[in-house]
């Protein structure tokens, strides 16, 4: 996998980990919404990438579509327009001229695929084999929180040290700490659940160019 592929996989896999799971069992007082196989979630994102040695974060903003049955479309609008598509085939980047580039797939991407597949199915058991999971009950007006720490020997441990997610109805903020000391802060907003099927333009993005 290329360096770009590693970076993209790290951030987007973390988003999938905390956005596509079943409702956290210890956060019922806040009633966070789960995402069914017959639904998809849309919203906006702002991602601050804090790199060691840099005073200011690199910020990107855009829109996303998450379908447990299909995958994730991460559409960056600023500063550099483009899309990243994450599904069971791997990671594909689409530039503003609609050119496609396969960033990762096959055996190199299999650990991420297995992880994502478990999450999208709402199955915590495979995650507990690779992560220590701590959930904090929401109290009063406080958001719920979930912390995932990769266990030693897990393939993803080389890319992620800890994932911390907080939210109310949906996941609102995802903090991703990395072994290098870098960290990502992803804020999700304007989120809405819709019933499948996907609109034709989004379905076409997942389907790829016609032969």
Q: List Cα–Cα distances, 93 to 74, 103, 140, 169, in angstroms.
A: 9, 7, 42, 30
- Condensed to tens digits (0 to 9), the pLDDT of residues 16-63 reads 655 655 344 444 445 445 677 898 889 999 999 999 888 899 999 999
* DSSP bridge partners of 187: 46, 173
Q: What is the Cβ-side half-sphere exposure of residue 100, based on CA atoms within 13 angstroms? A: 13
Q: Report pLDDT for 2.
A: 43
Q: DSSP states of 121-181 as a string? A: TT--HHHHHHEEEEEE---TTPPEEEEEEEPTT-GGGGT-SEEEEEESSSEEEEEEE-TTS
Q: Which is nearest to 66 in space by CA: 169, 161, 205? A: 205
Return the higher-pLDDT residue of 148 and 189.
189
pLDDT, the chain, mean: 78
What's the pTM?
Answer: 0.80
- Name which CATH class applies to 3-206: mainly beta
Return the higher-pLDDT residue of 108 and 46.
46
Q: Report pLDDT for 31.
A: 44
């Amino acid at each position: 996998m290329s360096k770009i592929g590693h970076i993209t996989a790290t951030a987007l896999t973390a988003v999938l980990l905390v956005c596509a799971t079943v409702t956290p069992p210890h956060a019922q007082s806040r009633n966070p919404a789960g995402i069914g196989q017959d639904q998809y979630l849309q919203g906006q994102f702002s991602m601050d990438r804090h790199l060691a040695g840099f005073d200011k974060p690199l910020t990107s903003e855009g829109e996303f579509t998450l379908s447990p049955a299909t995958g994730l479309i991460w559409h960056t609008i600023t500063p550099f327009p483009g899309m990243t598509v994450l599904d069971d085939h791997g990671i594909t980047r689409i530039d503003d001229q609609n050119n496609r580039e396969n960033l990762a797939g096959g055996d190199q991407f299999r650990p991420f695929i297995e992880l994502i597949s478990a999450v999208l199915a709402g199955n915590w058991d495979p995650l507990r084999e690779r992560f220590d999971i701590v959930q904090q009950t929401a109290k009063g007006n406080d958001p719920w929180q979930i912390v995932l720490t990769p266990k030693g020997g897990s393939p993803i441990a080389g890319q992620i040290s800890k994932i911390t997610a907080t939210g109310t109805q949906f996941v609102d903020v995802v903090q991703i700490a990395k072994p290098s000391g870098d960290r990502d802060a992803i804020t999700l907003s304007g989120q809405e659940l819709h019933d499948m099927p996907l609109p034709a333009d989004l379905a076409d993005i997942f389907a790829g160019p016609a032969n």
